[in-house]
Structure 1
């Protein structure tokens, strides 16, 4: 008997044994989605490991230029290929549709670069199986704030966690996690646009607005060497950008109108004081002072109005989507 056949048989045996132990919890169909772009190195082993805990593995090959699709298919995944790279949001949209077609009751999303451990899948799906949640977020920071991580990483994560709490009224400790589980009944609440904010945050926003019950479970934290040497300035800048994008998309009144009102107030106050001094004859018009006053007033008024309009449009959009 060839070594290949032995390996194949042993893999099938382990898969059957592991699935039997885990499947004893529920007979629900669990399907995993792996959006992948040029991940031929990690995708094969990840598919094989994931199959130990789920019924189906869907790999959405998002326009890869390597052998991602070929390797995933040989490992036993259901492969759906995009002809061009469309981004993670579109890949997840395709994955959710395919999972529904395969009769999934629970959908698990994972990153395809190997940073998530498939052995954590049972932790993610149990709250859904027990009826305690419709969405489960895998968190690296739930029971410990990762004290060994560089301080700038902890600062960035804290900022993003606070932004999620304020924007979506959700207490989520790992808002950027791509390792999540969903009841299949939630599939239609997600927009999968990924245009203004990261798809991970967009899905949190959609879930929060729809009243979906969300819980978190602890997952392992994998730290490749490059994350330990990342540039602190770039990391903090990226975190601030993510927070800003979330605020702009979900809290335009806070993002635009509050600072805009403050700027306009400063500009009008400066104008009042300037006019007062000019009429009293205690000072003459100063070009720099006048320019700053006009700039602050106009910029503040514009930001205030933009925030109000964006807030109104967002509300109208949500109402039309709910009808």
Structure 2
């Protein structure tokens, strides 16, 4: 068989591997009911079985290979998935953004994201996508902790770290979620169109929640099972993952909620400086002893705090104006 015939055969089977941008442009006229997207980086161990299991529930499966150096691409092709390839490793957020762009190009009705390392069970897809197809939610997060399970395999240290990230992620949005860092998610067509993400890193799950809340998208959770034993996929060190997400969340608060980021510490510094100065005044009144160091420190801290408050107010106003411009489409 000639090379031209081989190429034609691959295209007919829908298993062509190409650059992400070229593949997205070539699928603009296709329509899919349920698309399953799998971001993958060196996932040769679990990607094949994940795809095969997901095919029982999906109309189309797309794998975004994020610069893998192993056989992830070949195995994903053999399993029957469409493979989009990044030339270099962009990070999980970059892979998720490519999946969302592909979903928009195919005009799919619903999208499910799952990890490719085998931790997620594709058999849970129906219960995760259910609230979306029923019209009850725009985004459903597959939660590992929604229900108490005596057989839960999640290590204690991982659960503790996840809980801290949950508080940091949802604290500023008011949304009550039990598993903000789960990569198992379902999206409606409105959510697919609305989620224009910026981060390329592993803070993408937190950015999704923040963007969804700002876009007035409804978020629900559905209980899922995960596997940790025997999983040999490419995963981040829990400490590295946690610190990276915390750093991203702080940047997100700084950029989108500057009044909290600058104003709250400024208020605390102002109060602390005022109390410290008041203590110096009371000592002077009662003993006649003057402590210039106390007065200087009090004044410096109070000034810094006041500047923080005003900085937060000004930047918050600017942020609101930018959001208003985006809303009206100027």
User: TM-score scaled by structure 2?
Assistant: 0.76
Aligned ranges 1:44-123 → 2 under 5 Å: 44-123=48-127
Q: Report the secondary structure of 1:220's partner residue.
A: coil
Q: Which residue of 2 aligns with 1:12?
A: none
Please point out which of 304, 308, 316 is paired with 2:309: 304
8 Å contact from structure 1 (residues 197, 245) kept in 2: no
Q: Report the secondary structure of 2:46's partner residue.
A: helix
- Unpaired runs of at least 5, structure 1: 1-26
Aligned length: 294
8 Å contact from structure 2 (residues 257, 316) kept in 1: yes
Distance 2:245 2:106 in 1: 37
User: TM-score scaled by structure 1?
Assistant: 0.78
Q: In the alignment, does 2:23 pair up with 1:30? A: no
Q: Which residue of 1 aligns with 2:176?
A: 171
RMSD across aligned positions (CA)? 3.3
Aligned ranges 1:256-295 → 2 under 5 Å: 256-274=262-280, 282-287=288-293, 289-295=294-300
- Unpaired runs of at least 5, structure 2: 1-30
The 1:224/1:321 distance shift into structure 2, 3 A limit, reads: farther
Please point out which of 199, 203, 206 is paired with 1:198: 203
8 Å contact from structure 1 (residues 167, 250) kept in 2: no
Cα-to-partner distance string for 1:144-172 (whole Å, 9 max, x where unaligned): 27777555444433333334443222221
The 1:113/1:151 distance shift into structure 2, 3 A limit, reads: closer
Cα-to-partner distance string for 1:235-272 (whole Å, 9 max, x where unaligned): 87677656645544554333331231121122134335
Distance 1:303 1:253 in 2: 9
Q: Tell me which of the two structures has the higher relative contact order, counting C-alpha pairs closer than 8 angstroms and 6 or more residues apart.
A: 2
Distance 2:100 2:231 in 1: 31
Distance 2:47 2:237 in 1: 28
Cα-to-partner distance string for 1:285-321 (whole Å, 9 max, x where unaligned): 443x345324422332233233223322332232222
With 235-244 and 42-51 compared, the bigger mean Cα shift is at 235-244
8 Å contact from structure 1 (residues 152, 236) kept in 2: no
Question: 1:199 Cα deviation (Å)?
Answer: 0.9
